[in-house]
Amino acid sequence: MTGRFADYQFGIYLDALNGKISEFPMDHATLERRAMAVLPPSLRSYVAGGAGDESTQRRNVEAFSRWGLVPRMLVGAEQRDTSVTLWGQTFPGPIFMAPVGVAGLVTDHGDIAVARAAAETGVPAMFSTLMEDPLEEVITHAGPTPSFFQLYTPRDRDLAASLVERAEKAGYRGIAVTLDTWVPGWRPRDLASGSFPQLRGHVLANYTSDPVFRRLAEGRDVVQTWAQVFGNPLSWPDLEWLRSLTTLPIVLKGICHPDDARRAIDAGVDGVYCSNHGGRQANGGLSALELLPDVVEACGDVPVLFDSGVRGGSDVVKAIGLGATMVGIGRPYVYGLALGGVPGLVHVLRSLLAEADLLMAVNGYPDFAAVRANTRRAA
């Protein structure tokens, strides 16, 4: 995508003048409602649902209303710098697609569709270990846009090493190690519908294509083998081993306490990912946004990625204002994918970027430093 992100809205208006109204929604509520109507019930619960009574999931969304942006006038924000440099890579905008384990099922070859949307928009994707197509195939569709690989660390260390080695060899630019999903959280919607795609043999392509996993599964049921090796409750001493597996940047996903952030940095990680898994894993906690400022302070110059509860461009700007280096988009991009495949996903990404860019323009923020200087807690 070239030019300012704000220009996307003018394209929509010009199309309307020629009689072409956008087939995709502009607001999250309509996007979600229409996506729910086309998703099968099992995926509907898996994507939209959360842990427990979903109070943490709701709190993630509501937390953004407790922060506000103070406009600054007469500062000449006609030109805005929305670029982000992370681990030697420069991205035109501050968002990325967070790892979603069932993206591959939302549309035909969904992980490849995500990669194609990344290539078209320049928005990087962080791909889940749980893919419907092998990681080597998926990344070839991302074009020049860098991709990242999210690792659910298996119990078998040789398998973990193989997955990381494959990701590095295939060209992924970093490894995000998820810490909070070695066992699934209590998810009433999924339990009520019996929705657990992996136990039905879905999104396991990175395992069935792996030589170590195939050796482990030889003569055995693939799903049973996967269930036995999937979840590894990591501890701090494991970080030295993880660090030894790759020269790629390593970011720890699920860090929400500043003491954990400091300890992770001392252990040599290259970034911290502040997230509560969108409220899908643990209920009853604070929102990730409430915890973000303390994590950012603890990290100093170390990059902090963030997700959980982001629903629009203003949320992106507020998360940047609280110190996030880049902001992960989860459910909204999946809804766009469900509603319109690659075009639907591209629309959601461009809409988020356009809203964020326009918000900076109207508020008089030429860059993210201005955003951070003018983000305030609401009364």
* Positions marked catalytic: 277
Q: Is 171 helix (H, G, I), strand (E, B) or coil?
A: coil
- Tell me the DSSP string of 17-63: HTT---SS-SSHHHHHHHHHHHS-HHHHHHHH--STTSHHHHHHHHG
Of the candidates 313, 323, 307, the residue with the CA atom closest to the CA atom of residue 355: 313
Amino acid at 31: L
Length of the chain: 379
Contacts of 2 (CB under 8 A, 6+ apart): none
**CA 115 from centroid of its chain's CA atoms:** 13
- Alpha-helix residue ranges (DSSP H) falling in 49-132: 55-62, 103-106, 110-121
Write out the H or E segment, with its range, that includes residue 95.
strand 95-97
Tokens representing residue 271 in the block: 């970034």
- Classify residue 58 by burial, with Cβ atoms within 10 Å: 0-12, 13-18, 19+: middle
Q: Is 340 helix (H, G, I), strand (E, B) or coil?
A: helix
Contacts of 88 (CB under 8 A, 6+ apart): none
DSSP state of 102: T
Alpha-carbon span 260 to 252, nearest angstrom: 10
